[in-house]
Amino acid sequence: MKLIIAIINHDDASAVTHNLAKNGFSSTKLSTTGGFLLAGNVTLLVGVEAEKVQRVIDLIGECAHSRRQMIPTTAEMGYSFLPSMPVEVTVGGATIFVVDVERFERL
């Protein structure tokens, strides 16, 4: 068994969890915060048999879209700080980790 940990955009979370449920996959949704943008995102936990991992990743990919986001930065000029200059970053549709599950119990 594998555990899929998928970090997705908050705005895509409902569509992704609905798509998973519609196709028979359970998921748990956690409210998380990205360490770089410090913006809210969503982390999904999905436990599945190894042979279904790619199917789950495909279902997530159908609903999780990448976005371009402007973030403020502050440029330093020796003795003072310039006003913040926005920089654009691309936030991926989903960041996915797949890890082995040593033991799974439902009590």
Q: Which residues bind ligand 2BA (CB under 6 A)?
A: 7, 34-37, 39, 41, 89-92, 95
Residue number, 19 or 41, with CB nearest to ligand 2BA:
41
Residue type, 9: N
Which of 102, 94, 104 minimizes the C-alpha distance to 20?
94
Instruction: Kindly tell me which of 9 and 17 has the beta carbon lying closer to ligand 2BA.
Output: 9
Q: Specify the 3-state DSSP secondary structure of 35.
A: coil
Strands in 28-33's sheet, in edge-to-edge order, are: 28-33, 40-48, 2-9, 94-100
Our CB check for ligand 2BA shows the closer of 36 and 79 to be: 36
Query: Judged by CB, which is closer to ligand 2BA: 51, or 100?
Result: 100
Question: For 41, how many CA atoms within 13 A lie in the half-sphere containing its CB?
Answer: 23
Q: In the complex, what is the shortest distance from the CB of residue 19 to ligand 2BA, in angstroms, rounded to a whole number?
A: 19
The least distance separating ligand 2BA from the CB of residue 92, rounded to whole angstroms, comes to 3
